[in-house]
Chains A and B, each alone.
Chain A
Amino acid sequence: MDVNLIPKLQTKNSMTTKNSMTKNKIVLFVVTLCFIAAACSKLTEHIAPKSPDEDQLLDGPIEGLSELEKRQFLAGDAAFNGELFFSGNGLGPYFVTSSCGSCHAGDGKGHPFTTLTRFGQSDTLGNTYLHLGAPQLQNRALPGFTPEQLPAGASFSKFMPPANTGLGFLEALTDSQILANVDVEDANADGISGRVNYVTAPDFFAPLAHHQPHNGKFIGRFGKKAAAIDLLHQTVNAYNQDMGITSDYLPNEPVMNGLSNPYFDPFPGPEVQLSTIDNVVFYLRTLKAPVQRNSSDAEVIAGKQLFLDINCGSCHIPEWTTQQSTIAALSNKTFYPYTDLLLHDMGSGLDDGYTEGTALTPEWRTPPLWGLGLSMNSQGGSYFLMHDGRATSIQQAIELHGGEALAAKNLFVNLSQTDKLKLIKFLESL
C-alpha cells in the first residue's frame, strides 16, 4: 500500500493539546491490544500445530535420565542434528554428506541420496584396497576438489543409512547374551545358524567387563555387516569416513584413491572435539526405543503371531532385557528390537561380493525392525529397505530374503493374502 508519507505541518499549540489527548488514547489502545493478545494466547492451544504423538517420533530421550544426563543428551542432539559441516568448519575436502542428521533425518533411515559405498575385497583376509581409499568411497568433494573414484577390480556394496533409535539398549547387552543365540553349525537344524563378526578394535576402544575378545578381536554389533563394536567406534568412523571430519581419535583425513598421503587439507587439525564425540555417543545411547503403534489392534496381534509362527522371530528376536549398565536408565530394561545382532547368510540375491571383517559376502546382520513403520517419514515418503535400499515396500523386503531365511520367506509367500496383510500391518506398527 502506498502510504502518504508527507505529514501535515501543524502549529505548535494544536500539537501540545493533541499530544496529551493522544497519549491517553494510545495507552488505552495498547491496553486493549494487550488484552486481545492475552485472549489470543488462550486460542493458541487450538490454532497452533500440535506435537505429533510420542509414538510417531523416533527422536527423544529414554525415560529416567538425570538432569545432568538430559543436558548431555541435548548437547549430543545439537551436534548430531544441528552441526552442519562446510569448508569453514572442516567438511571434507572429500565426503559423502555434511551432517549426521542429513543421513539419519529425525534419527530415521536414509535415502538413496545419502546412501554410501564401501569397497574392497570379497574374502575375509582383510581389505587389500586400503591404500586406494577403502573401505569407503568419498563420492562428493568441496568445489575445486575431485571426488574419489572406485579403483578397478574392487568389489563394492551400497549401504542405506539405518535408523539410530534405541541403540543404547543394544549396546548395553552383554557379549554372552548375544553369543547365546549363535548356532554356527545349526545344531537345532532349523536352517538358521547365526554368527558374530569378530573385528579388530581401534586404538581408542576401551573394553568393558562383559566384552569377550576372541584372538584379540571383539564382537561387532553395529553396521550392516556388524563391523562396529560399539557406538563410539561407529561415531568416530562416521565423522571421518562420511564427512571427512578428523578428531584426535582419527587425526588423518580418509585415504583417497589416486592421491598420495597426506594430501592438501584446507582445514587442518582436529575438526571435531572429543567432548563433542562423547556427547553424540551419549545421545545415541539414550535415544528412546521406538514406541509401537496400534499394539492392541486385532490384526496387528494376529500379524505378530504369524510373524513368530513362520520363524521370522528366529532372527528378528522380539524381546531382550538389559543387565546392569553405566547409565541407570538403561539397566534391567526389557525392550523389543526384533534382532539377534548376528550375521546370517541371506543367499546369492543379496550377495554383493563385498565384505568386512570375518563376515562373508552374503552375510548381513539382522537389522532391528523397531521403527520400521516410521521409515517413510525420514525416507522422503517412500520405503528404501534392506542394506542398500533396493526394496521399496515391506513385502518386497521380505521376498528378497534368501539363504538362511529362505524357509521363512517361502512360508510368507504361501500365506493367504489376508494373512500377508496382517503380518505387514504388524510390521508397520513397529
Chain B
Amino acid sequence: MKKIILLLACIIQFTTYAQVDSSLFKRVAVQDTSIQLNVDATYNRPFLSVGKSPVAVGGYIEANTNYAVTDGVSEGLSFQMRRMTLFLSSAIGKRVRFLSEIEFEDGTKEINIEFAAVDFEFHPMFNLRGGIIMNPIGSFNQNHDGPKWEFIDRPIASTTIIPSTWSNVGFGLWGKYSKNKWAFAYEAYLSNGFDDRIIDNNLNRTNLPATKLNPDRFEESFNGVPLTTLKTALGHRVLGEIGISWMGGVYNKFEEDGLVLDSRRRVDLLAIDFKTTLPIKTAIRGEWVWAFVDVPSTYSQQYGEKQRGGFIDIVQPVLRRTMLGFEKAVLNACVRLEYADYNVGTFNETGGDIGDHMYAVVPAISFRPFPQTVLRANYRYSWTSDLLNNPPSKTAAFQFGFSTYF
C-alpha cells in the first residue's frame, strides 16, 4: 500500500511538472512494426515518457452507467467506476526493461498489482521474464485493457472460468519470431497457482477466480507445486492470429508438515483464441476455454468438474471519417455472443443435464474519436440457468460508458 501511495505521489509530481512545461511529456512511439500478436499487448500501449528520463507512464480509466432488469425487477440506475489502471515502464538498460500495471477496481475496493515484471532480452526468441506476470491463458488475460474493447463488461468466460485478470509471481521465457507476413510466438511460465477455494467458496460453484481472495498468494505457493502456463500463437498479416494455451497444476493442499492429507488434485485449462479482420474491415475475435477440475467424488456435484465457455466479438466499422471534428473518428456496430457453463455434466441421481450456465447477446455501438478512446453503448441480454436447469432468469442491461488511455 505504501509503495502505491509513493508511486501515486510520483505521478502527481510528474503531472504538476507537466503543467509548467507541457512539452515535458512525449508520446512514446512503439517501434515494433512487425505483426502485433497478443504477446505484444503488454508493451503495445500508449506511454508518455517524462523528459529525458528512461521512465514512461500511462494508464487507462473506464466508467459507465448500468441499468439492469432481471425478470422485471430492476435495482435502478447505477454509475460504476470500473477501474483505473496505471502503467509505469522503464528501460533499465540495454534490452532490460521493467513494466508495472496497478489497478484500482470499483473505486478502491480492490487494488491489485496486475503486472510488475522485468524482461531480459537475450534474443527476440529468448526473453527471460520474472516478477508478477500475467499468465498467458487465452488472449483476454494479457490483452485486457478496457480501451481495446467495444464492450463495457469483460467477457464472462474470460473472467469467471479463466480468472482474468490473472497474474502470479513467477518466471518464464517468451519469444517472438517474425518473417514476411508471418509471426510466431511462444510463452512458458512457472508461477504460483490456485488453492482449494476454487471448489470451496461462497458462490457454491467451481470458481477459479476465488483463489484471488487468498491474500498470501503473492508471497507463497499454496501447496508448493508450481502452475505451468504454456502458450503458442501464430499470426499472419492478413489472416489474423490464432493461439493455443494451456495452464495446469495442483490446487489442493495434499500435504502439510509431511503428513499426507489428500491425493494431488489438478486443475487444467485449455484455451483457443483467435482474431481476424475480414476484407470488409469486420474485426472478429474471440476465445474459448475448457477447464477441468478434479473434485472429490464424495463432495458435491454442486461444484463442477468441467467448465467451458467463450465469446466472439464482431466489430464492423460503419463510419470512418471526420465526425464532430475528430479527424479519424470511427463508429462501429458490434455484437458479442458469449456463453459460460460452470458445470458440464449429468446428475448422478437422474442422468439429467446439470445446469449452472449462462448465455448472453450484446449488440453495441462504439464511437472512437481516436484510437485510444472509446465511448460505448451496450444492450446486454442474458439467460442464466440454475444448477437444476430450471427455467432461466432473464436479464437485460442498458449500459453506457467510456474507456480511454491517458
Binding site for B on A (CB under 8 A): 1-7, 9, 12, 18, 21-22, 25-26, 28-29, 33, 36-37, 40-41, 44, 47-52, 84-89, 97-99, 102, 105-106, 111-113, 115, 140-147, 377-382
Contact = CB atoms under 8 A, between A and B. Distances in A.
Q: Which of A2, A87, A143 has the most CB of B within 10 A?
A: A143
B352 A49 contact: no
A49 B71 contact: yes
A37 B390 contact: no
A140 B299 contact: yes
Contacts of B386: 105
A12 B299 CA distance: 66
A105 B204 CA distance: 14
Contacts of A29: 324, 367, 375
Contacts of B262: 143-144
A87 B400 contact: no
B200 interface: yes
B388 A105 contact: yes
Q: 6 shortest A-B CB distances, which residue pairs?
A: A51-B72, A1-B283, A49-B394, A112-B349, A380-B388, A48-B69
Given A44-B398, A86-B200, A113-B388, A49 B72 contact: yes
Given A5-B44, A44-B398, A146 B298 contact: yes
Given A2-B275, A48-B72, A98-B300, 18 more contacts: A2-B283, A5-B45, A7-B46, A12-B23, A29-B324, A33-B377, A36-B377, A41-B398, A44-B396, A48-B69, A49-B395, A52-B71, A84-B204, A89-B202, A106-B390, A142-B200, A142-B299, A379-B390
A113 B347 contact: yes
A49 B396 CA distance: 7
A102 B202 CA distance: 13
Contacts, number: 168
Contacts of A37: 65, 377, 398, 400
A379 to B, nearest CB: 7
8 contacts: A2-B277, A6-B46, A26-B324, A52-B72, A85-B204, A111-B349, A111-B388, A378-B390
A3 to B, nearest CB: 4
B299 A381 contact: no
Interface string B346-378: 011110100100000000000111111001010
Contacts of A41: 67, 398
A172 to B, nearest CB: 29
A113 to B, nearest CB: 5
B308 to A, nearest CB: 20
Contact of B204 (A86, A113, A140, A379): A86
* Interface bin, chain B: 35 or more
Contacts of B261: 144
Given A33-B375, A87-B200, A380-B352, A9 B300 contact: no
Contacts of A378: 388, 390
Contact of B30 (A5, A97, A377): A5
B148 interface: yes
A105 B390 contact: yes
Interface of B: 22-23, 26-27, 29-30, 36, 44-46, 65, 67, 69-74, 147-148, 150, 196, 199-204, 252, 261-262, 265, 275, 277, 283, 285, 295-296, 298-302, 315, 317, 324-326, 332, 347-350, 352, 355, 367-372, 375, 377, 379, 381, 386-391, 394-396, 398, 400, 405
Contact of A97 (B300, B317, B379, B381): B300
B36 A2 contact: yes
Contacts of A380: 352, 355, 388-390
Nearest to A8: B27
From DSSP, what is the main secondary structure of chain B's interface residues? loop
Contact of B350 (A21, A33, A113, A144): A113
A88 B70 contact: no
Contacts of A143: 196, 199-200, 252, 262, 265, 295-296, 299
Main secondary structure of the interface of A (DSSP, over half): loop
Contacts of A142: 200, 299
B351 to A, nearest CB: 10
Contacts of B395: 49
Given A5-B45, A7-B27, A86-B202, A49 B298 contact: no
A33 B390 CA distance: 38
A47 B26 CA distance: 47
A380 B351 CA distance: 12
Contacts of A18: 325
B344 to A, nearest CB: 16
A132 to B, nearest CB: 19
A220 B153 CA distance: 51
Contacts of B196: 143
Nearest to B349: A112
Nearest to A139: B298
Contacts of A3: 147-148, 368, 371-372
B389 A381 contact: yes
Nearest to A84: B204
Contacts of B391: 377, 381
Nearest to A114: B388
B350 to A, nearest CB: 5
A284 B323 CA distance: 59
A76 to B, nearest CB: 18
Nearest to B397: A48
A51 B388 contact: no
Contacts of B199: 143
Nearest to B398: A40
Candidate in B23, B46, B299 with the most chain A CB atoms within 10 angstroms: B299
Contacts of B45: 5
A47 B29 contact: no
Nearest to B33: A6
Contacts of B332: 1
A351 B349 CA distance: 22
Contact of A25 (B73, B325, B347, B387): B325
Nearest to A22: B325
Contacts of A112: 347, 349-350
B405 to A, nearest CB: 8
Nearest to A49: B394
A9 B27 contact: yes
A51 B69 CA distance: 9
Contact of A6 (B22, B30, B275, B355): B30
A277 B29 CA distance: 63
Nearest to B36: A2
Contacts of A382: 350, 352
